Amino acid sequence: MDAKSSRTAQSKASSTHFAGEGDERLQCALLPRGHWPAHRWFDVDVVPQFENPFHMEDMMVFNDATLQSILCGNGFGLTVEKLAYSLRGMPKELVRRIIDNMQTEKRASFLAEFQHTISEDQVEAARHEVLDRLFWELTYWKTPELYEELTEGEQLHPGIFQQLEPDLQGKTVLDAGAGWGRASFECVRHGAALVYAVEPSPGLLRILERKLAGLLTGPPGSRIVPYQGRFDQIPLEDNCVDVSLSCSAFTAEPGQGGEVGLAELKRVTRPGGKIVVIWPRREDYDWLVGHGFQYVVLPLDQEMRVRFRSLRSALRCARLFYAHNTAVASYILERRQPEVPFSVLGINPPRDYCWLIVS
């Protein structure tokens, strides 16, 4: 998932306070609210920056488990009414799959709404809303290579894994929502003995497996084990890892982690081990501190930037993922360089994380 679930526009942190992990007295204490950064600039319900290329028929790419998560109404905010309207005129196979994976108690309401007489404008508006809410999920499943192209240049602050290195060296680690493996490879570089890379998207898993196969020899390939799985059903035994981490994937939303996902992370993590959420969403701070997480934000010597593969790649990503933030393409064209500051993108740079000791 790898930056996917937390890509709701974030603002730049205004605080640079970070907790001292060396102090054992702090490990299980709730961090005072004032130590979490104050944010501004964007509200949670922002106008999407992306240009949505998907169609309702693309929902067929999801497996049943993912459809059930989407349709349960948690995390994606799809109402029965908007979903029913959006599926008017769609292939029967798609409508049947939606009904089959919907909660039983919602089916009658769905069918009633599906049969209402509505205008074409209402249908079109409902489709736009549904597809915008599913944009990132569709991106991971339908166009994983584009997602990799977007996110591989979002290099994490090097201090994050430097600080986590004592927890990783010689240890067994879970990377939940591993995506194409950004955090998994960092864990190995910083001494992890074994990394379970768990990711629901088959496309992103294929990219990770291709990267591992391309290594041929050397420790990274032999120390990263990919698994298909979700936050709510991690395919690992109890108490089998020393550290569970998630990089820009775990959120407080039930469909992308939440209470069930946190319980699963605790289940697979040995007592005394650590759960780490890297680059959390700003709207999740209260939820995280309420569950006992400590917050760490790294200082900056210079402004952090996204470094795309090439000028062509930068423009392609800008015109798709930041289509409604015209400052991004303008910045790239003016400078003719494939680098863009996070401040221009309008999101927080990846320089923070939070952690919790499992009791």
Q: Give 23 or 90, the one with higher predicted confidence.
A: 90
Q: Give 73 or 170, the one with higher predicted confidence.
A: 170
Residue 279 is classified by DSSP as: S
Question: Token pair of 36, please?
Answer: 């979490």
Q: Give 231 or 37, the one with higher predicted confidence.
A: 231
> According to CATH, where is 3.40.50.150 located in the chain?
24-36+154-300+351-357
Average pLDDT over residues 215-224: 69
Spatial separation of the C-alpha atoms in residues 210 and 221, rounded to whole Å: 10
In terms of Cα–Cα distance, which of 281, 271, 256, 267 is closest to 353? 281
What is the chain's mean pLDDT, rounded? Answer: 86
Class of domain 24-36+154-300+351-357: alpha beta
Architecture in CATH of 56-133: Orthogonal Bundle (1.10)
In the predicted model, is pLDDT for residue 158 greater than 70? yes
pLDDT one-digit tens code per residue, 310-356: 999 999 999 999 999 999 999 999 999 999 999 999 999 999 999 99
In terms of Cα–Cα distance, which of 183, 227, 225, 200 is closest to 69? 200
> According to CATH, where is 1.10.220.30 located in the chain?
56-133
pLDDT one-digit tens code per residue, 14-63: 333 333 333 332 232 222 222 333 322 233 344 567 889 999 999 999 99
Spatial separation of the C-alpha atoms in residues 150 and 318, rounded to whole Å: 9
